Amino acid sequence: MGFGRYVGARVLWAAVVSLIIVTVTFLLISASPNPAVQRAATQAALQGGDPATAAERARELRGLNEPLHVRYFDFVRSIYTLDWGWSVSRSQPVMEAVTQALYYTAQYSIPWTILTVILGPLVGVYSAANMYSWKDHAATGFAFFGYAIPNFFFGIVLLLIFGVWLEWIPITYNTDVAVFSVENAIQLAVPVFVLVTGSIGAVMRVSRNESAEFQNADFMKTAKAKGVSPLRAYAYHVMRPTLVPLSTTLVGQLLALFLGASLLVEVVFAIPGLGRLTYEALLAQDMSLVLGTTLFFTFVAVIGNLLEDLVFTVLDPRISFDDR
C-alpha cells in the first residue's frame, strides 16, 4: 500500500468513526426526554393550562413528531453543516459559543502545547544525557514539582504574587486586547507557565527513560565514533526514536489536559474558554451545548488520532503501511 492510499484509508476510517459517534449520540438523545418540551408542559401547568396539549404543541414545533429516520437525517445534516442548535444557557448559537470559546482557548493552548512538546522531550533528553548528575536531579525535581502542584492553586499563588503584590499582570482577563499584542502576552504569561509546568512533567519523564535506552545503542556508538557532534547525535539519533512512543500518548494526554487542567486555569484567570464552556454547559444542563462541546472534543480526538497515525509513518520509516 502506498502512502497516498494509506492516508486515504485512514481519512475514510476517521469519517466512519465520526458517523458512528454521531449516530450513537442521536439515538441517546432520541431516547431521553426533551427539556424544552418539559419546560413547556411545566409552564402550562403553572398557568393553569393543559400540560399534555402544551407538550404536544412543543413537540410539533420542534419537529419531534416526525419519523425517526427523518429526524436522523436532519440531525446528521445539521451536525455536518455545523448547525448545532441554540444554547439556552448562553442565548447564542452553539457553533458561535464553541468558536468564541475556542478563540480564547487557542490563545493560551497553542503556546502551551508548543512549549510542552518542545521543552518536554528536550529536558528529558538533557536529563538522560546527564543522568544522575545534579542537572538530572534539578530537571526531575522541576518536572515533579510542576506535575504535583495543583494548577489552580499554583495559579492563585502566582496571581497573588504577580497580580496583587507586584501588580505586573492584570487580575481580570481582558477580552478586548489584540491577540498579538504585548498586553495579551502579559496576561497569558502566567496561565501558560502554570499549564506548561503542569504538563511537562509526564512528557519529560517518558522521554528521559526512552532516550536512556537509545544513548548507548549501537547507532549512537557509531555516530560518536564517526565524530558526530553531541548535539547532532542527540537530535538525530536519540530524539527521533524517542518521539515515536511519546507521540502515541501525547494526543490523549493533551486532550485530557485541555478539558481538565484548562478548566481550572480558566476559572482562576477568568478566561472564557472551552473548559469553562463545557463545564458550565454540563452544570446548566444545556443539552445542545453539551452535545456541541462533546462532539467538538470527539472530532478533535478523531482528527488527532488520524494525525498521530500519519506522523508515525514519517517519524519511523520502519512502520509499514501494509500491516495497517
Partner 1 sequence: MSLKFFICPLVLLVVLWRNIEDRDDSRHVGRRQWLSALGLAGAVTLAGCSGNDDGGGGGSDNSGSGEIELPDFPRFGVDDLYGPDAARTLARRAFEQSEYDYSFDGDAMVTPESDQVEIDIYHSAGQETSQLTADFIAQELGQNLGINVTVEAIDGTRFNNEYWTGEPQGGTDTVNGEEVTWENPTPQNPGPRSVTSNEAWDMSIVFGLNTYPLNPLTNEAFFDGANPFYNPVGYYPQFDAQGLFEEARQATSVEELRESFVEIFENLAYEQPYITLLFSDDIIGYNPELEGPIENFSNGWDFPAWYEGEPNVSGSYDTVTSARFTTLNPLFNTEDGAGDAIARALDQGYTFDENQDYFPLLYNMSTEDGEVWTFDVRESLQFSEPYGQVTAEDFVYLVRELHQADWAPTAASSSWDGVTVEQTGEFQFEATLESSNILWPKTYDPLLYPIPRDLVEPYVEEEDVEGLQQDEELLELQFTGNLGAYELTAWNRGSGTEYVRNDEYYLRDIDEGPDLFSEGPLFEEASISVVGEQASRLGALETGEADSAAIPPEQYESYDQDDSVTVRQVPTPYNTIISVNQRANGWNAGPGNLFQLVPFRQALAAAISKQDLIDGVYRGLASPHFTWQPRWSEFYPETDE
Q: Which of 272, 298, 299, 313 binds partner 1 (CB under 8 A)?
A: 272
Binding test (CB under 8 A) with partner 1, winner from 277, 290, 291, 295: 277
For 86, the enclosing helix (H) or strand (E) is strand 86-87
Q: Determine if 91 is a binding residue for partner 1 (CB under 8 A).
A: yes
Stretch near partner 1 under the rule CB under 8 A, chosen from 82-90, 179-187, 233-241, 245-253: 82-90
Find the DSSP H helices in the chain: 3-31, 35-46, 51-61, 68-80, 94-129, 134-148, 151-158, 182-214, 218-225, 230-232, 239-269, 274-283, 287-315
Is 297 near partner 1 (CB under 8 A)? no
Asked if 194 and 303 count as a contact pair (C-beta separation under 8 A), the reply is no
Q: Which is nearer to partner 1, 245 or 272 (CB)?
A: 272
Q: Transcribe 211-245 into DSSP letters.
A: HHHHTTSHHHHHHHHTT--HHHIIIIIIHHHHHHH
Q: Which of 19, 26, 24 is nearest to 68 (CA)?
A: 26
Find, among 24, 104, 35, 27, the residue nearest to 288 by Cα: 35
HSE-up of residue 193 (Cα within 13 Å, Cβ side): 15
- Binding test (CB under 8 A) with partner 1, winner from 12, 24, 82, 164: 164
| Rounded distance between C-alpha atoms, residue 257 and residue 247, angstroms | 15
Nearer to partner 1, 82 or 114 (CB): 82
Q: Of these, 5, 8, 16, 49, which contacts partner 1 (CB under 8 A)?
A: 49
The b-or-e profile of 73-95 (16+ CB within 10 A means b, else e) is eebeeebeeeebbbbbbbeebbb
Residue 88 sits at φ, ψ, to 5 deg, of -75, -20
**Do 249 and 206 contact (CB within 8 A), yes or no?**
yes
The residue within the footprint of partner 1, chosen from 160, 179, 217, 256 (CB under 8 A), is: 160
Answer yes or no whether residue 170 interacts with partner 1 by CB under 8 A. yes
Q: Does 259 bind partner 1 (CB under 8 A)?
A: no
* Residues within window 15-44 making contact with partner 1, judged by CB under 8 A: 39-40, 43-44
Contact range with partner 1 by CB under 8 A, out of 117-125, 126-134, 152-160, 244-252: 152-160
Among 104, 108, 126, 154, binds partner 1 (CB under 8 A): 104
Return the SS3 of 93.
strand
Q: How far is the CB of 269 from partner 1 (least distance, A)?
A: 7
Question: Judged by CB under 8 A, does residue 156 bind partner 1?
Answer: yes
Is the distance from CB of 259 to CB of 86 less than 8 angstroms?
Answer: no
* 205 forms part of the interface with partner 1 (CB under 8 A): no
262 makes contact with partner 1 (CB under 8 A): no
Query: Cβ 294 to partner 1, closest distance in Å?
Result: 18
Determine if 198 is a binding residue for partner 1 (CB under 8 A).
Answer: no
Is 191 among the residues that bind partner 1 (CB under 8 A)?
no
167 in contact with partner 1 (CB under 8 A): yes
Which residue in the set 101, 188, 202, 233 belongs to the binding site for partner 1 (CB under 8 A)?
A: 101
HSE value, Cβ hemisphere, 13 Å, CA-based, for 245: 15
Interface residues with partner 1 (CB under 8 A)? 39-40, 43-44, 46-47, 49, 61, 86, 88-92, 97, 100-101, 104, 152-153, 156-157, 159-160, 163-164, 167, 170-173, 175-176, 267-270, 272-273, 276-277, 280, 284
